[in-house]
Structure formats: structure tokens, C-alpha cells
């Protein structure tokens, strides 16, 4: 894209996309720019699959793509998303939600799970597993898996070694 054309060039690129991935929105307290919202909505209306990573769900919600659907975002922003967009069923406890042509993920680590899910859908498990291995991440975490462990792990019972490396 040409940097001086900004959102205009973005809208043109999105109009031809098969899949649009909206990264985390920088400031969940602010509404995303209308031109961005319109470009994402138009891309979806043209047949693109649209996915959001983390707080990118705020862009999809502003575009109306999450109305009447289940969605997720980072758990720390879920209440704000639900309050601002009451027609969205916000599920703060899952890694990602796949609604077919509209997908959302929780935090940044869950974004990798969603992206691997997309690779698996488009290119098969073998390609997704190879990619996961290169990224050194689990090959498949189900979208319904919890965002975080609610039970804290026990404190280690051993002490770190504080000696010299010389024998």
C-alpha cells in the first residue's frame, strides 16, 4: 500500500481480500475510525472472511459484524466490549470463536491459535502442524479452551541454585 493514501488504499485492498485479519485495536476506549469500520464491513459484505485478534473485536463490533453473534476478546476488555455493543454475546472465557465468516480471538497468544485454525481450515492439518512446530507453539488448542487458568499453580518447593558454575 502507498503510505500517503492510508485508509483509502486499505479500503481498496480489503475489497479484494478473501480473508481480512484485524489486529488488536490500539485503544479500546476510543472508537475506531469510520473509514476503517466501513472498509471492514464492505469487505465482509463482498464475501471476505473477517477475523479479529484481541481488541480488534472492537472494530468488528463497530462494523456490526458481531451483532447477534458470540464473540471474544481479551478478558480484560470483555466487559467494555459487552457494554458498548449490547447486541454482541461476549464470551470472555474462550480462546477464539468461529462463526464461519466472522471469527474473534482473545489475547495475543490466542491470536496464534486462531491463525493456526485458519491455516488448518484453508490448507489442512499437516501445514498447520508444521507452522506450529516452527513457531514453537501447541499445534492445536481448541477455541473453547479457557483463556487463563483460574487455579494458581503451587509455589515451587525447591530453591534456585545460587552457586558458582565452577566445580
Model confidence at 60: pLDDT above 80:
yes
CA dihedral 41, 43, 48, 54 (to 10 degrees): -50
pTM above 0.75, yes or no: yes
Q: Using one digit for the tens of pLDDT, what is the confidence trace for 148-162? A: 555 555 666 665 655
- Quote the CA–CA distance of 140 and 130 in Å, as a whole number: 11
Q: Which domains does the chain have, with CATH numbers?
A: 3-106 (3.40.50.880)
Are 78 and 97 in contact by the 8 Å Cβ rule? The answer is no
Tens digit of each residue's pLDDT (9 = 90 or more) over 22-33: 999 778 889 999
For residue 163, give the DSSP letter: S
130-145 confidence digits (pLDDT tens) = 998 998 887 766 655 5
Amino acid at each position: 500500500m502507498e503510505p500517503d493514501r492510508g485508509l483509502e488504499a486499505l479500503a481498496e485492498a480489503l475489497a479484494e481480500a478473501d480473508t481480512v485479519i484485524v489486529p488488536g485495536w490500539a485503544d479500546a476506549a476510543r472508537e475506531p475510525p469510520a473509514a476503517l469500520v466501513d472498509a471492514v464491513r464492505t469487505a465482509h459484505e463482498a464475501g471476505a472472511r473477517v477475523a479479529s485478534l484481541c481488541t480488534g473485536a472492537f472494530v468488528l463490533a463497530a462494523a456490526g459484524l458481531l451483532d447477534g453473534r458470540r464473540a471474544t476478546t481479551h478478558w480484560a476488555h470483555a466487559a467494555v466490549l459487552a457494554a458498548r455493543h449490547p447486541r454482541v454475546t461476549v464470551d470472555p472465557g474462550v480462546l477464539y470463536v468461529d462463526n464461519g465468516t466472522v471469527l474473534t480471538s482473545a489475547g495475543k497468544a490466542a491470536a496464534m491459535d486462531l491463525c493456526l485454525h485458519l491455516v488448518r481450515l484453508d490448507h489442512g492439518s499437516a501445514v498447520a502442524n508444521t507452522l506450529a512446530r516452527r513457531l514453537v507453539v501447541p499445534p492445536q488448542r481448541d477455541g473453547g479452551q479457557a483463556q487463563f487458568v483460574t487455579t494458581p499453580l503451587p509455589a515451587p518447593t525447591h530453591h534456585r541454585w545460587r552457586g558458582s558454575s565452577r566445580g
